[in-house]
Amino acid sequence: MERGAKKPGTQLMAQETIFIGFGSNLGDRQELCDRAVALMNLLPLSQVTGVSSYYETEPVDPEGRLGESWFYNGVVRLETSLSPTRLLDILQETERGLGRNDTDRHGPRTIDFDILLFGQQQIDQPGLTVPHPRLHQRRFVLEPLVELDPAFRHPTLHRSMRELLEALQDLSRVNKLDIKPGSKYRSRPACSVPPLS
């Protein structure tokens, strides 16, 4: 191999500031969101730098497929060197691990992850559009984004998160909850595995 050439598979991506939205409207929503946040803390090549409050939010779906149950929603900010497609793979695997029903993807869900923003990158490929195409239309996304990083700029709309929230037409109800996000698993004591006898 030529000097300085990278081994296949070892090419590092530049670090980006990214935002992942999560939501749950099936099962124990707080527990599922706590698990989602705990798992974000375990992502490889990544560091969580902010977690929004949880918000209880009215389901937004003109076709009514999401059911009547309100969601718990929130947003996590990370610094990551993962590629967007690798991150999406991990998030979809995590959705399955947390009981997401793959056969009724548009129905009520134990957990849903959306890659909302990936630095200033614009991605338009099969299965992945970033910025998330409905981010600027959804109160349940913009309120936690503004809580975390009001000045962050949308790469194509060229508006800050605060400006997008101020211009928002969405009248669906979004209530900030007075509970500590992700607290349940963060202070978990380390456990050791007993030696095999």
- What residues act catalytically? 100, 109, 112, 114
Q: What is the DSSP-derived secondary structure letter of residue 108?
A: -
Q: How far is CA 25 from the centre of its chain?
A: 15
Helical (H) or strand (E) element with 1: none
Output the smallest distance, CB 109 to Mg ion, in A.
8
Tell which one of 120, 122, 129, 156 touches ligand ADP (CB under 6 A): 129
Binding partner selected for residue 82 from ligand ADP, Mg ion, none, CB under the kind-specific 5 to 8 Å limit: none
Rounded Cα gap, residues 98 and 114, in angstroms: 15
> Which residue reads 């009981």 in tokens?
99
Residue 59: CB atoms within 10 A of its CB come to: 17
Q: What number of chain residues touch ligand ADP (CB under 6 A)?
A: 10
Please identify, among the stretches 2-10, 25-33, 71-79, 124-132, the one whose residues bind ligand ADP according to the rule CB under 6 A: 124-132
Any contact of residue 4 with ligand ADP (CB under 6 A)? no
Any contact of residue 132 with ligand ADP (CB under 6 A)? yes
In the chain, the DSSP E strands lie at 16-24, 46-51, 55-57, 71-80, 112-118, 123-125, 128-130, 174-176
Any contact of residue 60 with ligand ADP (CB under 6 A)? no
Residue 48: CB atoms within 10 A of its CB come to: 18
Tell which one of 112, 143, 147, 149 touches ligand ADP (CB under 6 A): 112
Output the smallest distance, CB 98 to ligand ADP, in A.
13
Q: Write out the residues near ligand ADP by the rule CB under 6 A.
A: 88, 105, 112, 114-115, 127-130, 132
